Amino acid sequence: MLARFVIVRQPLSDRVTWAGVLAMGYFSSLLVLTALRDALLLLAFLLSWLLANADLSTALLMPSAVAVPLLAAIISLIGFVNARRTPRIVEVEVPIKNLPTPLVDFTIVQLSDIHVSSTIKRDYVQAIVDRVNSLDADLIAITGDVVDGTVARLAPHTAPLADLVSRHGTFFVTGNHEYYSGAEDWVMEFERLGFRVLMNAHAAIDHDGATLVIAGVSDFSAHLFNPAWCSDPHAALAGSPVGTPTILLAHQPRSASAAAAAGFDLQLSGHTHNGQIFPFPWFTRRIFGSFTYGLQRLGGLQVLTSSGAGTWGPPMRVGTSPEVVLLRFE
C-alpha cells in the first residue's frame, strides 16, 4: 500500500515547489542546448568527412559538454530575473470604427495570467496593483488565470487586487486555471474584492454621454468542467445597445472566431504567455498562429493577446517579458 504524503506547512511546500519548477526550467534549457550540441557535432563530423580533415567533432566534444550546462544555468538565471521584474507597461493604440468622440483616448488596462501561487505572492501582486493604479485608467480588464490554488490558500495574496482603481471599475473573466482551482469559490472571492465578473454577460458603460459595451465569456474550456459554463460570445452580447463599440474579454484567443461571428469590435485575451520560455513559443505559435501575441485582426474583429503579468511552471521568461497592457482607443 502506497503512503500518501501531504505537506501542510506552507513554507516547506513552497520550497519544494520552488525547487521543482526551477529544475523544470533548467532542464528545459538543458534539453534544447543538448539537442543543438548534437546537431553541431553532427555537422562538424560531416564537414570533416567531406573535407577529408581530422574529425572536428572530436575536438568539440569536451568544450561543448562543458558549455551546455553552463549556458543552461546562465539562461535560467537570466530568465528568472526577467520573470521576477515588475511587469512593464506596453502601450497599444487601438483604432475602433465609428468611435464616438467622447470615447477617443478611452483607456483600458488589461491584466492577464498573474498566476498567484507558491512562487507568485502578495508582494508581487501589490507591485502590479501600484503600477496599474499609476496609469489612471478609465477601466481595468482582467482576462483570467489570476490564481493557481484555492481561495483558502491564496486569498491573502490576491487581497491587494481589491485596491485596483479606475473610473469605471474592474471587470473579470475566468481563465482555465480558475477552473482547476475552484472557479465558483474564486468568482465569489473576486466579487468580494469588488470585481464585476462577466460570465457570458455584458455591461453597458456610460462615458461622458457615450456608451461602451464590455462583455465577457467563461473560459474556452469551461464546458469541460460544467456544460452550463460553456463559453458563448453571442450570449454575452445579447440585449446590448445597438451601434455601440463592443469589447469582449475572453481568456483564450481561440474565442476569436465566435467573437467575430457575434460582431465584436475588439477581443482582449491572454493565456499564451507568448511562449514564456523556449522551445514553447514554437508550440504556442503552432496552436494559436498569429493570435499568440499582440494586436491582430480577424475580419472585422481585432484581437489583442497579452503575454501576461506572471508565469506558470518555471518562474522564468526567455524571449518575452511580463507585462501590463495599456490600450487607448483612437
pLDDT per position as a tens digit, 277-287: 877 888 888 88
In a domain, 5, yes or no: no
**Residues 49 and 103 placed together within one structural domain of the fold:** no
Q: For 72-119, how does the pLDDT look when each residue is reduced to its tens digit (9 = 90+)? A: 999 999 999 999 999 999 999 999 999 999 999 999 999 999 999 999
Q: Residue 306 CB: number of other CB atoms within 10 A?
A: 28
Query: What span, in angstroms and rounded, lies between the C-alpha atoms of 310 and 142?
Result: 13
**Residues 151 and 290 placed together within one structural domain of the fold:** yes
Instruction: Decide if pLDDT at 60 tops 90.
Output: no
In a domain, 58, yes or no: yes
Q: For 255-270, how does the pLDDT look when each residue is reduced to its tens digit (9 = 90+)? A: 999 999 999 999 999 9
Indicate which CATH number applies to the domain containing 317.
3.60.21.10
C-alpha cell at 46: 560531416
Give percent above pLDDT 70 in the chain: 95
Q: What's the domain count of the chain?
A: 2
**Residues 141 and 236 placed together within one structural domain of the fold:** yes
Helix ranges (H only) for the chain are 10-51, 56-84, 122-133, 151-158, 176-180, 183-192, 233-237, 256-262, 280-288
Q: For 141-175, how does the pLDDT look when each residue is reduced to its tens digit (9 = 90+)? A: 999 999 999 999 999 999 999 999 999 999 999 99
**Residues 47 and 171 placed together within one structural domain of the fold:** no
In a domain, 4, yes or no: no
In a domain, 1, yes or no: no
Residue 54: per-residue pLDDT: 63
**Residues 19 and 132 placed together within one structural domain of the fold:** no
R_g of the chain computed on alpha carbons: 23
Q: Report the mean per-residue pLDDT for the chain.
A: 92
**Residues 122 and 266 placed together within one structural domain of the fold:** yes
Pairing mode of beta strands 170-172, 139-142: parallel
Last residue of a domain, one of 83, 112, 138: 83
Instruction: Decide if pLDDT at 53 tops 80.
Output: no
Instruction: Decide if pLDDT at 3 tops 90.
Output: no
Instruction: Decide if pLDDT at 7 tops 70.
Output: no
Name 310's Cβ contacts closer than 8 Å, sequence gap at least 6: 113, 114, 115, 116, 120, 124, 322
**Residues 227 and 273 placed together within one structural domain of the fold:** yes
In a domain, 53, yes or no: yes
Residue 320: per-residue pLDDT: 92
In a domain, 23, yes or no: yes
In a domain, 2, yes or no: no
**Residues 216 and 170 placed together within one structural domain of the fold:** yes
Last residue of a domain, one of 66, 83, 100: 83
**Residues 201 and 146 placed together within one structural domain of the fold:** yes
Q: For 32-48, how does the pLDDT look when each residue is reduced to its tens digit (9 = 90+)? A: 999 999 999 888 888 88
Distance of CA 120 to CAs 54, 83, 116, Å? Answer: 52, 10, 5
Instruction: Decide if pLDDT at 52 tops 80.
Output: no
Last residue of a domain, one of 67, 83, 99: 83
What's the average model confidence in pLDDT over 235-254? 96
**Residues 139 and 97 placed together within one structural domain of the fold:** yes
**Residues 162 and 291 placed together within one structural domain of the fold:** yes
Spacing of C-alpha 264 from chain mean position = 21
Residue 44: per-residue pLDDT: 84
Q: Which domain holds residue 201?
A: 87-329
**Residues 28 and 100 placed together within one structural domain of the fold:** no
In a domain, 199, yes or no: yes
Residue 58: per-residue pLDDT: 78
Q: For 301-312, how does the pLDDT look when each residue is reduced to its tens digit (9 = 90+)? A: 999 999 999 999
pLDDT category, 6, cuts 50, 70, 90? very low
pLDDT category, 330, cuts 50, 70, 90? very high
Say which residue, 89 or 10, is predicted with more confidence.
89
Q: For 315-329, how does the pLDDT look when each residue is reduced to its tens digit (9 = 90+)? A: 999 989 999 999 999
